[in-house]
Amino acid sequence: MMARNSDGELEEQSTEGYQEAAFEAFMCPLTKQVMQDPVTIETGQTFEREAILKWFRECRDNGRRPTCPLTQSELRTTDINPSIALRNVIDEWRARNDEKDLEKACNALRLHPEDDEDDTLRAMAYISQICQRSGAKKNLVRGQGIISTLADLLKSSSRRVRLKSLQVLRTVVEDNDQNKEELG
């Protein structure tokens, strides 16, 4: 995920893999994070839904009329409108980054599974995490051909690798008949 560093520059927060840079428009001016649920207020400015609602609450709690946090102009209304197009673009950006990171994790398991136990465990943790986020990602894992590699890791000399492999395989095949068939 992208965030601003102390110098105000965009940088990666994750060291798990390459992340395609986030556009400035993806960032909430209040949280300095990529937005999940972008909404637009009357001034045309876009914010993360929860962040702007919190701003409005703070204005009311402090006895002030709601203002735009960027322009400081007083608002006539606190109505918010979802920015569906921006949310869709951000979702597509996240999906591309997920695919790149998944490919990197799968390659790490295929190329050097026994060389670095910690890298192997991190790669498997990422695969598990991405599969838990979305059932469709389980199909991407199958498409990467990684299920047999995960099964082979059950033969590892490392107890930690064997255990993690079993946990990841369970996640990958859960509620996915095609992945169960591939594992069989």
Q: What is the pLDDT of residues 102-118, one digit of tens each?
A: 888 888 887 765 667 88
Residue 104 and residue 123: Cα distance in Å, rounded?
8
Q: What's the pLDDT band for 4 if we cut at 50, 70, 90?
A: very low
Which DSSP symbol is given to 48? Answer: E
- The arithmetic mean of pLDDT across residues 156-171, rounded, is 90
Among residues 36, 34, 44, the alpha carbon closest in space to that of 70 is found at: 44
Cβ-based neighbours of 73, under 8 Å, separated by 6 or more: 43, 67
Q: What is the pTM of this model?
A: 0.66
Among residues 145, 146, 147, 138, the alpha carbon closest in space to that of 176 is found at: 138
SS3 131: helix
> What pLDDT is attached to residue 20?
76
> What pLDDT is attached to residue 25?
93
SS3 49: helix
Residue 15 and residue 21: Cα distance in Å, rounded?
14
Q: What is the pLDDT of residues 31-57, one digit of tens each?
A: 999 999 999 999 999 999 999 999 999
Tokens of 123: 């790669």
> Is the pLDDT reported for residue 89 higher than 90?
yes
> What pLDDT is attached to residue 10?
46
> Is the pLDDT reported for residue 147 higher than 60?
yes
* Angle between the N-to-C axes of helices 159-173 and 135-143, in degrees from 0 to 180, rounded to the nearest 10: 120
Q: What percent of the chain has pLDDT over 90?
A: 43
Could you give phi then psi for residue 46, rounded to 5 degrees?
-115, 140
